[in-house]
Structure 1
Amino acid sequence: MAQKPKPLDETASVRAWWGVELRNWRNTRRMSTRQVGAKVHLSATMIERIEKNERQCDQALASLLDAAVEAGGALIRLWRLVEKEASDEAAHADKGTGEAGQGAAEAWKEGMLGLNSPVPSEGSHFMERRAFFSLGGVAALAPTAFVDLLPSSGPNALPTAVRPEDIRQVLAAADTLAGWDNLYGGGGIVGSSSMGLFIWAKGLLATKYPADLKDDLYTAVGRLSVVMGASAFDAYAHDDATELLGFGAWCAEQGNNWHLRAAALNWRARHEIWRGRPDEGLTYAESGLLRADRLTPREQSMLHNARARAWAKMRNAGEALAAISQSDKVFGRARDGEDMPWMAYYDDAQHHGDTGHAAFDIALMPGQTPELAISRLETAIEGHTDAYVRSRALSGTKLATLTMVMGDPQQAVAIANRALDEVGKLRSKRAVTDMEELASASARCARRPDVAELRSRITSTVNA
């Protein structure tokens, strides 16, 4: 017998009331949470949590849900009260803040989906750096921040007005850093060289610019922030990554760029999944798919891969395999020339690597088989060029681990040694973690001379 839905307390808040009304309209239309979720590109679980007020909703999603359950605008009208309640609570909270905090908060505006701006965490390493230490709170990521750190004259000064050439410089810097990150890892040259670029680029947002350059400017600065956030993630500077990826997503909203928003939310999803929070990662991935009609097939596929990884980490093989299947389906519709330049990395090798990493976690579950993961990872390793050393190394390490677990240590050692050759060229904490997991998987075969030699080499490499 199906479990009776948990009673909801509509008196807790207006937002809770809104969730109750969503469930009422869904039941009136005799729709399941899965049916509603399919209409707005969310999982059944996510719809249920929105109804229970356990997951946030925003104005854009509220409108989509109103249409999905054919509420005739009733949910949209009620949402205005949700926003008023949130506004009243924010105003009440602000009464105890000083003028500096209020001024910083005013610098943030809602983006194209009405999302709230990211709020930096007080313990962030990003916030602790000397250049930002005195700024505090939201000011550290507000558009006007960092301006005082730049000279008023000389070669490093901000321009008096933003030109298209300045925007192109920011994009070129982002592309260069992304290339270095793929070659050397986030713990290498990227982290050491990027902060000055970011301060200068960020300062452009507080500089005079023509209205017709606004979207391009925010897109460029957001792109740089996402690249730096992804690199910080690879270096395990997790607080930095959270701040930078959040700011990149906000810039995408301000620049009305759905493609950059998808890229930012993909990285936020992968970051949360890696940190052991797959449910949060799934939320970001599904948020990225909210308006899938505005994304290219590669962008949709990328986000479905994040969904697959999240479900696999939550040990839900069925949902993970369904996400991989959906990713394959949309990737098959991809055409050259339709994507933003930063999606150039997402080729056939990357697609197989991303789905292969999700399939790796599935293969380790009871009753599952390794064939899908092995095939995907082998295709990725073969397809990655030397420009993507880290991706090739990560897939190689996963394949070696799976081969070891499946009982073929001789083949696993051969695969692992090739991956180690490349890991030794990187400064990547993710690559180190995967190698440590391979070492753990090989422990039961440690008496074999070839495995013992491999384990010694892993220790030397990760400690270098």
Structure 2
Amino acid sequence: MPRPEKKLTPDASPRDWFGHELRTWRKKRAPLTHAELGAEVQVSGSLVEKIEKGTATCSKDLAERLDQALEADGLFTRAWGMVFGQTEKPRPETESARSGKGEASVQVHEGRILGRGSTKPLSGSSAPVDRRAFLATSGLAAIAPLDLVRLVTPTAALEIPAQIRPREIGQLKSLADLIHRQDNEHGGGGAVRELARGAITWGAALLPVPCPEPLRPELLASVARLGIVVGASQFDAYAHDDARVSFRLAAECAEEAGEWHLRAKTYSFMARQEIWVGDPDTGLTHAEKGLVRSDRLTATERAMLHSARARAFGKMQDVSNTLRAVGEADAAFEQSDPSQDPQWMAYYDYAQHHGDTAHALFDLAVHADQDPGQAARRLEIAVKGHGDAFARSRAISGTKLASLVMAKGDDPRHAVVLGHRALNDVGKLTSCRAADDLRELSRFASRYRKLSEAGDLRERIAATVQA
């Protein structure tokens, strides 16, 4: 027997009114269950339920998707500004928003950093409804090949071969390697984003091209790898809808190719994206999907996915499950043998593993009052271990370490020193994720208003990240 739904009180607050309207429209159409509506608007059913109860924030993009799914004639979009507009974190989480607002950036020292990612689809990008249509399909076979190309770009003039040869597969692999390097060194914005956009367009366009049967699995695997690195770059630039399309394309190609390693890597990134944008429940589901048939994965890949689980539990402030998942990640990583890993898993080394698990422990320390020592030690290992080829990872871990010391330590001056070190890296990047972490550090530093060094750090952060 289904559990009776909680009685709502629309008069209690604007959030409660918004939640009551959402339940009313959800039941008016069909009616839909929480899970069914969640699937239509690309969030978990539990998030829909929490918004109805007034216990979770609805992003502007989600309000727009609710209007479309429920045919509410713009009700939720119009109400969003009054209900959530002043409280939502200024993080652009999708590509659809008011027109005329482009990417904001500022020149700082040697480089540039994106403050807020563009929320308007750039020319050559498909409309959000098309991307959602792709995300709703069950596989490559469910969509016509030409439609797949138009989902990525409707107007690009592509130079497509008459038949797939080893040359095209080699080019796909080279593109993936190049984007991976550029993204990790410079972030996902600027020129890297444009390179990634063109690469995934061309890769998707190769799928319907006649291909000798022996080459077909390698073609699919190469497009899958390209989809992973492009999606990761788009995620870093906060082109979240585009990233979801790229990841979905990668997952479908990996499944069709029978490539379990690429499948695991795809779900790891899908998990991290959803955790980052505030939906750890969906992120946990993706991580668990990646662990299906874990006997076919390497120990390093299992460590990567257990780290994603830990980060999801950490965002949920689930202490016991976070610690358990960190332990499972550590145990898997102890068995890691690089000679058994695909070449593209080389990034997941000692520094990466400690940085990933540290992020989960960071959330417990800051938000669940747990001992910050373990998170700090792991972040220190990550900062020291990441070279210039992974400048973004070093910058993010360095910023997190500064925030942790500022929030939970007893030496804010040391936190300031750590913050300036991280800024030396961040100022050279075009990374929206790194920018958001700097904003968090600035908020922690604002607790020390009488400390001039903390004020100087905040001024430098403001100059580096200007919205």
Is the TM-score greater than 0.5? yes
Q: CA deviation at 1:8?
A: 5.5
Among residues 403, 406, 411, which one is paired with 1:408 in the alignment? 411
Q: Offset at 1:399?
A: 0.4
| Contact map agreement 2:307 2:356 (CA 8 A) in 1 | yes
Q: Please list, as runs of the form range in 1=range in 2, the aligned pairs for 1:319-334 lying within 5 A after superposition.
A: 319-334=321-336
CA contact (8 A) 1:150 1:200 kept: no
Match of 1:99 in 2: none
Q: Output the amino acid matched with 2:436.
A: T
CA distance in 2 between counterparts of 1:122 and 1:412 reads 34
Aligned-pair CA distance for 1:241: 1.2
Distance of 2:263 and 2:453 partners within structure 1 = 47
Distance in 2 separating the partners of 1:245 and 1:300: 19
Structure 2 residue runs of 5 or longer lacking an equivalent are 4-32, 37-93, 98-118, 136-142
Whether 1:390 aligns to 2:392 is yes
355, 358, 361: which is aligned to 1:359? 361
4+ residue segments displaced more than 4 Å:
52-55, 121-129, 133-142, 147-151
Q: Distance in 1 between matches of 2:371 and 2:189?
A: 35
Q: Which residue of 1 aligns with 2:149?
A: 146
Partner of 1:97: none
**Cα gap change, 1:459/1:403 in structure 2, threshold over 3 Å: closer, same or farther?**
same
CA 1:208–1:127 in structure 2 vs 1: closer, same or farther (change >3 Å)? Answer: farther
Which of 272, 275, 295 matches 2:274? 272
SS at match of 1:206: coil
1:202 maps to 2:196: no
The percent of aligned pairs where both chains have the same amino acid is: 44
Deviations 1:427-456 (A, max 9, x none): 111001000000000111122111111111
Distance 1:134 1:301, change over 3 A: closer
Given candidates 432, 457, 460, the residue that maps to 2:460 is 457
Letter in 2 for 1:423: V
CA deviation string 1:43-74 (max 9, x = no partner): xxxxxxxxx9969xxxxxxxxxxxxxxxxxxx
Q: Structure 2 CA distance, aligned partners of 1:134 and 1:273? A: 21
Per the TM alignment, residue 122 of structure 1 is displaced from its structure 2 partner at its CA by 11
Instruction: Give 1 or 2 for the bigger CA radius of gyration.
Output: 1
Pairing 1:209-248 to 2, within 5 Å after superposition: 209-248=211-250
User: How far off is 1:252 after superposition?
Assistant: 0.9
Larger RCO (CA under 8 A, 6+ residues apart)? 2
TM-score by length of 2: 0.70
Once the two structures are superposed, what CA deviation does each residue of 1:200-243 show, in whole Å capped at 9, x if it has no partner?
22121111001111111111111111111111111111111111
- Structure 1 residue 412: Cα displacement: 0.2
Provide the aligned length of Structure 1 versus Structure 2: 348
Query: Which residues in structure 2 correspond to 1:12-411 (within 5 Å)?
Result: 129-130=123-124, 132=126, 136=130, 138=133, 143-144=145-146, 145-146=148-149, 157-405=159-407, 406-411=409-414
Question: In the alignment, does 2:449 pair up with 1:446?
Answer: yes
Letter paired with 2:167: E
Question: Shift in Å at residue 165 of structure 1?
Answer: 1.8
Partner SS, residue 283 of structure 2: helix
Q: Which residue does 2:53 correspond to in 1?
A: none
- Which moved further from structure 2: 187-196 or 218-227? 187-196
Show CA shifts across 1:83-115 (max 9, x none). Answer: xxxxxxxxxxxxxxxxxxxxxxxxxxxxxxxxx
Is the 8 Å Cα contact of residues 300 and 327 (structure 1) preserved in structure 2?
yes
8 Å contact from structure 2 (residues 228, 266) kept in 1? yes
Distance 1:329 1:347 in 2: 14
* Cα distance between partner residues in 2 of 1:380 and 1:123: 35
**How far does residue 377 in structure 1 lie from its aligned partner after superposition?**
0.3
Structure 1 residues 292 and 424: alpha-carbon distance in aligned structure 2, compared to 1, 3 A threshold: same
How far did residue 306 of structure 1 move? 0.5
SS at match of 2:243: helix
Paired residue type of 1:304: H
Query: Structure 1 CA distance, aligned partners of 2:450 and 2:323?
Result: 36
Give me the whole-angstrom Cα distance separating, in 1, the residues matched to 2:120 and 2:228.
Answer: 14
Report which stretch shifted further, 210-219 or 362-371.
Answer: 362-371
1:197 CA displacement: 2.1
Q: Distance in 1 between matches of 2:96 and 2:144?
A: 18
**Distance across 2 between alignment mates of 1:275 and 1:247:** 20
For residues 304 and 322 of structure 2, the distance between their equivalents in structure 1, rounded to whole angstroms, comes to 14
Q: Is the 8 A contact 1:188 1:426 kept in 2?
A: no
Q: Distance in 2 between matches of 1:150 and 1:54?
A: 37
Q: Distance in 2 between matches of 1:435 and 1:196?
A: 30
CA deviation after TM superposition for structure 1 residue 245, in Å: 1.1
Q: Is the 8 A contact 1:232 1:241 kept in 2?
A: yes
Q: Distance in 1 between matches of 2:95 and 2:279?
A: 20
The 2-side partners of 1:232 and 1:419 are apart by 22
Any idea what SS the aligned residue of 1:209 has?
coil
CA distance in 1, matches of 2:269, 2:390: 17
Q: Aligned in 2, Cα 1:166/1:363: closer, same or farther, shift over 3 Å?
A: same
Letter in 1 for 2:227: S
Gaps of 5+ in 1: 1-6, 10-51, 56-120
Judge which range, 394-403 or 245-254, deviates more: 245-254
Secondary structure of 2:189 counterpart = helix
- For the Cα contact (< 8 Å) 2:95–2:240, is it kept in 1? no
**1:161-191 deviations in Å (ceiling 9; x for gaps):** 1011211110110110011000110113211
Change in CA separation of 1:417 and 1:367 when aligned onto 2, cut-off 3 Å: closer
Distance (whole Å) between structure 1 residues aligned to residue 419 and residue 238 of structure 2 = 23
Q: Give the residue type in structure 1 aligned to 2:450.
A: R
Contact 2:96/2:128 (8 A) holds in 1 = no
Partners of 2:95 and 2:438 lie apart in 1 by: 32
Task: Report the secondary structure of 2:339's partner residue.
Answer: coil
Contact 2:350 2:385 in 1 (8 A): yes
Q: CA deviation at 1:255?
A: 1.3
Query: Contact between 1:390 and 1:422, CA under 8 Å: does it hold in 2?
Result: yes
Q: Do the aligned residues in 2 keep the contact of 1:363 with 1:370 (CA within 8 Å)?
A: yes
